Structure 1
Amino acid sequence: MKVILIGATGILGKIIFKELKKYNDIDVITVSRNGATDIHADISSADQIKAMYAKVGSFDSVINVAGHCWVGPFDEMTEENWYSGIKTKMMGQINLVMIGKELINDNGSFTLTSGFLSDDPIKGTINYSVVNGGIENFVFAANIELKRGIRVNAISPGVVLENYDGMMNTPIAGQYPVSHERVVHAYYKSAFGYLSGQVFRVWEPSTQYIRK
């Protein structure tokens, strides 16, 4: 089974890559913008996404953990700042599915990444909150359009740290970091399980907040 892992050099990407490499039946193709990966591609560019798929050839699953948004005070935000997250994290991920849906093998899967800020926002991250919500609604709607048994899901992880010092004021007040094990299990379930059109929210129950 060939899996394309995009954003492989980031914290999430490194965790997922390390775990997937344990399975002999999974061939992981790593992708980043400019890191030490098999392929270089920027998902904000549709042309680069097309070139990436052409280099990979036949594939069974896409796991994306790439994409960023603008961070700063809402009072200082401009229209161009909005487009930062819309172009990279939202449209980049949508294009992975739009372009890849005709290329992926039957019964393949797309796993996108949103984040807890769509449900539990903090100051300075409104771009993330809105974009994450857009990704989740895209997954919900795209699920009923996809054919050939193709699945699509999103993972909404809580705060993921390489190291945690146990302090409640870091990195975000009261947000308990999610363990690496819980995060990677969610990505594995999305990529190789059975559900589609879902958002897997990976947060610690003690600080979980979901809008009613």
Structure 2
Amino acid sequence: MRVLVVGGEATIGRHVSAELRRRGHVVVTAGRSSGDVRVDVRHRDSVADMYREIGGVDAVVAPAAHGTTDRLQTLSRDELLQNMQGKLLGQVDLVLLGQHHAAAGASFTLTSGIFADEPWPGVTGGAMINAALHAFVRSAALELPRGMRVNVVSPTMVGDSVDSFSSTFPGMRPVPMDALVTGYLSVIEGERTGEVVRAYG
């Protein structure tokens, strides 16, 4: 397969890309400042330009989407909208625009996060966005044309990021990177659609 990995040079994306190549797939990476092509998923036109540049693909994977922490007492509508531009609307655009460029039977694999299922202080906006991604994937799977599929991987804190985030989320069990990559590969190479793949520690 020819696989587009958006965020293919980031923490999770590097490992997903490497495993895809090891399995014999052709990988095209995209990112704001690195990769084979440039894209800023916060801007719909940038996503459209990326698809026109790379041509047809058999799978699209977005493992780099992440949100920011917040405080409910000061959380503003503008802050929510800014966070939605990348993690929610950006990934949605990968599907909405990608369905017109990808090959028949192509798959889309998005990324949400554990806070859609488990509440935690400081992530109300992110939890809302993650849950919205789950709802989008379940519904979009019913309508995608030409046998296309869409799923979302929902990870907890990744083992490779414990040093950076363990103080923010004390007591959270990380998911090992190899287990997380297996979650992505299970839907990229499988036949599932409309599913939330939970990769929790």
Q: Which residue of 2 aligns with 1:28?
A: 27
What's the offset of the Cα at 1:19? 1.2
CA shift for structure 1 position 46: 0.8
Distance apart, 1:66 and its partner CA: 3.1
Question: In the alignment, which residue of structure 2 is the partner of 1:87?
Answer: 85
| Aligned match of 2:76 | 78
Deviation at 1:122, TM superposition (A): 1.4
**Equivalent in the alignment of 1:11:** 11
Match of 1:48 in 2: 46
| Counterpart-to-counterpart distance in 2, 1:143 and 1:162 | 31
TM-score of the superposition, structure 2-length normalised? 0.94
Q: Cα offset for 1:106?
A: 0.9
- 1:171 deviation in Å? 5.3
Give the whole-Å Cα distance in 2 for the aligned partners of 1:29 and 1:127.
31
Corresponding residue number in structure 2 for 1:184: 181
| Residues 1:163 and 1:98: Cα distance change in structure 2 (over 3 Å) | closer
- The structural deviation recorded for 1:67 is 3.0
- Which amino acid letter does the alignment assign opposite residue 149 of structure 1? G
Aligned to 1:69: 67
The aligned residue for residue 197 of structure 2 is 200
Q: State how far apart, in whole Å, the 2-side matches of 1:125 and 1:10 are.
A: 22
**What letter matches 1:119 in structure 2?**
D
Number of residue equivalences: 199
Distance 1:163 1:180 in 2: 10
* SS of residue in 2 equivalent to 1:62: strand
Q: Tell me, in whole angstroms, the C-alpha distance in 2 between the residues paired with 1:172 and 1:70.
A: 13
Out of 109, 115, 118, the position equivalent to 1:117 is: 115
The one-letter code sitting in structure 1 at the alignment partner of 2:4 is I
Instruction: Identify which of 85, 104, 107 aligns with 2:105.
Output: 107
User: CA separation in 2, counterparts of 1:141 and 1:134?
Assistant: 11
2:172 aligned with 1:175, yes or no?
yes
**Counterpart in 2 of 1:159?**
157
- Where 1:89 maps in the other structure, the secondary structure is helix
Given that 1:16 and 1:184 are in contact with CA atoms closer than 8 Å, whether structure 2 keeps it comes out as yes
- Secondary structure (helix, strand or coil) at the match of 1:127 reads helix
1:11: Cα distance to partner? 1.2
8 Å Cα contact 1:69-1:84 kept in structure 2:
no
CA separation in 2, counterparts of 1:132 and 1:84?
A: 14
Point out where structure 1 has 5 or more consecutive residues left out of the alignment. Answer: 205-212
Give, in whole Å, the separation in 2 of the partners of 1:3 and 1:99: 16
CA contact (8 A) 1:152 1:197 kept: yes
Moved more, 117-126 or 170-179: 170-179
Aligned residues with identical type, % of pairs: 30
SS at match of 2:73: helix
Whether 2:130 is the aligned partner of 1:138: answer no
* AA aligned opposite 1:103: H
In structure 2, relative to structure 1, the CA distance for the partners of 1:79 and 1:103 (3 Å cut) is same
Q: Note the aligned Cα RMSD (angstroms).
A: 1.5
